[in-house]
Structure 1
Amino acid sequence: MKTFYVILTAIVLVACENSLTKKSNHIEKWKNEILETEHNFAVMAQKEGMNKAFLAYVADNGVLLRNDSIINGKQAISDYMKNATSKGLNWKPSFVDVSSSGDLGYTYGKYTYTYQDSTGKDITSTGIFHTVWKKQPDGSWKFVWD
C-alpha cells in the first residue's frame, strides 16, 4: 500500500510540473507577442507619425492619460491626436508582464519625444511610459491605457 502512495504522489508531482511548464511557456509567448506589438507600434510612430500609430494600436475603449486629462475611447483619441503628426516619439519597454490567463499585459520603460517649437527650435522631453495591453478577439494586442 505504501508503494501505491509513493507512485501516486510521483504522478501528481510530475503532472503539476508539466502543467507549470506549459503555463510558463504560454506566458513567455504572450510576453513576446506584447513586446513585438510594442516594437511595431514604436516603429509606426517613427515612420508614419503619432496619430496613425496611436489609432492603429488603441482598443475601441482605450484611454490616454495626457497632462491632467483622460481621453477616453478611440474616437476621442482620434480627435485629440488629429494634429499629432510628429515622428519624434521614441520608446522601448524595459519590462513586460502578462496575466496568467493571457488576456491582459503591461509594459513600462523610457521614452524620448522631440518636436519643433513655433520658432523651429528642437525641443526634447524624456519620461517614463506605462501601457496596459488587452488581447483582442482576433488575437492581436491593443492598448487600453497609455
Structure 2
Amino acid sequence: MKTLSFLFLALLIGCKKPEANSDIEKWKTEIMSVEKSFNDMAQNDGLAKAFSYFAAEDGVIKRGKNIIKGKTTIGKWYEKDVRPNESLSWTPTFVDVSKNGDMAYTYGNYIFTYLDSLGIKKENKGIFHTVWKRQKDGTWKFVYD
C-alpha cells in the first residue's frame, strides 16, 4: 500500500510540473504579443500614445538622467520631447515570467531614428529592458522601461 501511495503521489507531482511550464510558456507568448502590439502602436500612432497606453498607472521610464513617473506624465513627456521625424522600433529577444505569472521582463534591440539638423537620417541602436506587471484586469502593462 505504501508503494502504491508513493507512486500515486509521484504521478500527481509529475503531472503538475508540465502544467506550470505550460502556463509560463503561455504567459511568455502573451508578453511577446504585448511587445509587438506596443511596437506597432508606436509605429502607427506615435510614441506618446503607445507609451501612455502600455504604461501602468505607476509606470516609470528612465530617459537620460531623468526618471519620469506615472502613466500621464510619461505620455506628456513623449508629447513634449519627441519631434515629428523621430521614431523608435524594437524587437524583444528574451522574455521571462515569474512562476505565478504576475511579473515579467523582456530585453532586446531597439533602433531610434531621427533627422539631424541637416535633414540626414540617423540611427541610434541599442538594447532595451522592460519590466511588465499583470494588472487586476489581466492585461500586461510596463512598470519600468
Do these two structures clear the TM 0.5 threshold for a shared fold by scoring above it? yes
Deviations 1:82-130 (A, max 9, x none): 1325562111111000001110000000101101123322121000000
Which AA in structure 2 matches 1:43? D
What TM-score do you get using the length of structure 2 for normalisation?
A: 0.93
Partner of 2:111: 112
Any residues of structure 2 matched to 1:91-102 within 5 Å, and which?
Answer: 91-102=90-101
Q: Does 1:5 align with 2:2?
A: yes
Partner of 1:14: 11
Paired with 2:88 and 2:108, the residues of 1 have a C-alpha distance of: 13
Q: Does 1:58 align with 2:55?
A: yes
Please list every run of 5 or more consecutive structure 1 residues that lacks an aligned counterpart in the other structure: none
Whether the 8 Å CA contact 1:49–1:87 is kept in 2: the answer is no
Q: Does 1:36 align with 2:33?
A: yes
Paired with 2:21 and 2:120, the residues of 1 have a C-alpha distance of: 49
Instruction: Note the C-alpha offset of 1:79.
Output: 2.1
Tell me which stretches of 4 or more aligned residues in structure 1 moved more than 3 Å.
Answer: none
What TM-score do you get using the length of structure 1 for normalisation?
A: 0.93
Whether the 8 Å CA contact 2:87–2:112 is kept in 1: the answer is yes
Q: Does 1:78 align with 2:75?
A: yes
Partner of 2:120: 121
Instruction: Note the C-alpha offset of 1:62.
Output: 0.2
Deviations 1:59-99 (A, max 9, x none): 00000011111111112212211132556211111100000
Inter-CA distance 7–80: structure 2 relative to 1 (3 Å threshold) = same
Please list every run of 5 or more consecutive structure 2 residues that lacks an aligned counterpart in the other structure: none
Whether the 8 Å CA contact 1:46–1:87 is kept in 2: the answer is no
Deviations 1:15-45 (A, max 9, x none): 1111111111111111111000000000111
Identity %: 43
Paired with 1:99 and 1:33, the residues of 2 have a C-alpha distance of: 13
RMSD: 1.2
Q: How many residues align?
A: 143
**Structure 2 residue matching 1:82: 3-state secondary structure:** helix
